[in-house]
Amino acid sequence: MTVVGPSVPVYRMVAGAMPSITGTGLTTGETVTVIVYRLNSGSPAAVVLTDDEAQEIGNTGNFRLSLSNLPAMTVTRQQYHYVMTDQSLNTDSGDFILEKEGELNTMPSLTDTSSYLVDNSLP
């Protein structure tokens, strides 16, 4: 099986260790603002960020925005689209999927047999 086109990265929302989205090819030293859209079955909706300014990584022209700036998730898994724009109007954009911690299908515990053993006995 072959994947056609770029894949969409999936990030897991973990308290205290939130991932970041990264924009490349932007102008070093400039302010970069970010707009994030929630993608759903209807039209994309912009989300209100707690901070919409991306931080430059060194002097590389690469900028990052922590996903902790997104509002609290109300679903287990959500796809987003982002656009980063510098003061010279250069842009970088992309998509990502964010998964909510604690509500995902995970492996059963090896130390808690009730997480994987099913009692099929009849009363």
What's the domain count of the chain? 1
- Give the domain CATH number at 65: 2.60.40
Q: Is residue 3 part of a domain?
A: no
Residue 102's pLDDT is 64
Domain that holds residue 75: 10-115
Rg (alpha carbons) of the chain, rounded to whole number:
19
Q: Is residue 52 part of a domain?
A: yes
Q: What's this model's pTM, rounded to 2 decimal places?
A: 0.74
Residue 12's pLDDT is 82
Q: pLDDT in tens for each of the 123 residues of the chain?
A: 455 556 788 888 776 778 899 999 999 999 999 999 998 767 788 999 999 999 999 999 999 999 989 998 888 888 899 999 999 999 999 999 888 876 544 555 556 555 444 444 433
Contacts of 3 (CB under 8 A, 6+ apart): none
